[in-house]
Amino acid sequence: MIENPFTLSGKHAIVTGGASGIGNAIARLFAQSGASVTLVDLNAEAAQQTAAALEPAGRAVACDVSDEASVAQAFAEAGPADILVNSAGVSHIGTVLSTTPEDFDRLFRVNVRGTYLAMQAAIPAMQARKAGVILNMASIAATAALSDRFAYSMTKGAVLSMTLSVAKDYLGDGIRCNCVSPARVHTPFVDNYLARTYPGREAEMYAKLAASQPIGRMGEPSEIALLALYLCSDAASFLTGCDYPIDGGFFNLR
């Protein structure tokens, strides 16, 4: 039996999108669990503030995950990773008719291309060591029909498919690759969306969105981080090629 299966002591974790939301919670918990953490984020100032607050102190690297040269430079600066968490992402509200080509391309570049480029940058060092863990951030939108989430659902379906492909292709290299699929999580995106779309009705609409999970509330970033810690730790050494919903009963209890 592993003495402390949830420790990340001696591990280097790269977390994309670590400056806010779920990525931020993951970076903080991983640092508390002993990992050295590098935050890769477009918002360099917020990433640096988060990195400085970690114990032990982390590092921050500015990066546009949709840009090949930016990713290559960021990962070279960060150094080899034992763990890669792809949490950088953007959302969008719209149907196939209301989604503009520009919005479609923007979501694809960040959510799909960004995940692809980060994995492509991290895997060679993992191959060389014959060990590594990759965790991608999918969504219930990957496998459930959600209204007005056409482009977002497309990108998260791609993230799920890429996860399975990478898990299969690099099984012999000792690399595990999984993804998690949250339902609604209370992040700054939710608050900003409500303030922008329903001014003066934020509380009412928040309650309506929260009620769409059978458990009666949205998830918290810290709850997603706990699942991420498990999947990236040695406790999950027998798990690869899986998608883990964390959804407040969304799929089975509606």
Residue 97 phi, psi dihedral angles, 5° rounding: -80, -30
Q: Exactly one of 152, 170, 206, 244 is catalytic; which is it?
A: 152
Name the 3-class secondary structure at 76.
helix
Active site residue 170: no
Sign of the torsion angle spanned by Cα atoms 179, 116, 24, 36: positive
How far is it, in rounded angstroms, from Cα 145 to Cα 83? 31
Order of strands across the sheet that contains 36-41: 59-62, 36-41, 12-16, 83-86, 132-137, 175-182, 243-246
Contacts of 233 (CB under 8 A, 6+ apart): 5, 6, 7, 8, 33
Residues identified as active-site: 152
